Amino acid sequence: MWVAFMTVPNAYVAETWCEVFAAEGLSMRVIPPIGRGEKASMRDPRTLYVPTGKAHVAREILRKI
């Protein structure tokens, strides 16, 4: 299962955060706005999801930054 971790203003920022977390060994999912699917613009907000048991790890990575 995945839980919502944070919402970012656009897909460019979402990919940057995914790279940061991936460098620390944490997998993330980027979800576009509901109902828009693949037709969503890169400028639309995105929600980042982390695995259920790893939300505390993601918070710790953010705290280190």
Residue pair 47/4 in contact by the 8 Å Cβ criterion: yes
Model pLDDT, residue 42:
86
Model pLDDT, residue 36:
66
Q: Is the pTM of this model over 0.75?
A: yes
Domain ranges of the chain: 2-64
Q: What is the pLDDT of residues 10-63, one digit of tens each?
A: 999 999 999 999 999 999 999 888 776 667 788 889 999 999 999 999 999 999
Model pLDDT, residue 37:
63
pLDDT reading at 64 higher than 70 = yes
Residue that has been written with the tokens 């203003």 in this structure = 9
What is the per-residue DSSP string for 1-65?
A: -EEEEEEESSHHHHHHHHHHHHHTT---EEEPPTTTGGG--TTS-EEEEEEGGGHHHHHHHHHH-
Model pLDDT, residue 32:
85
Burial class (CB in 10 A: 0-12, 13-18, 19+), 21: buried
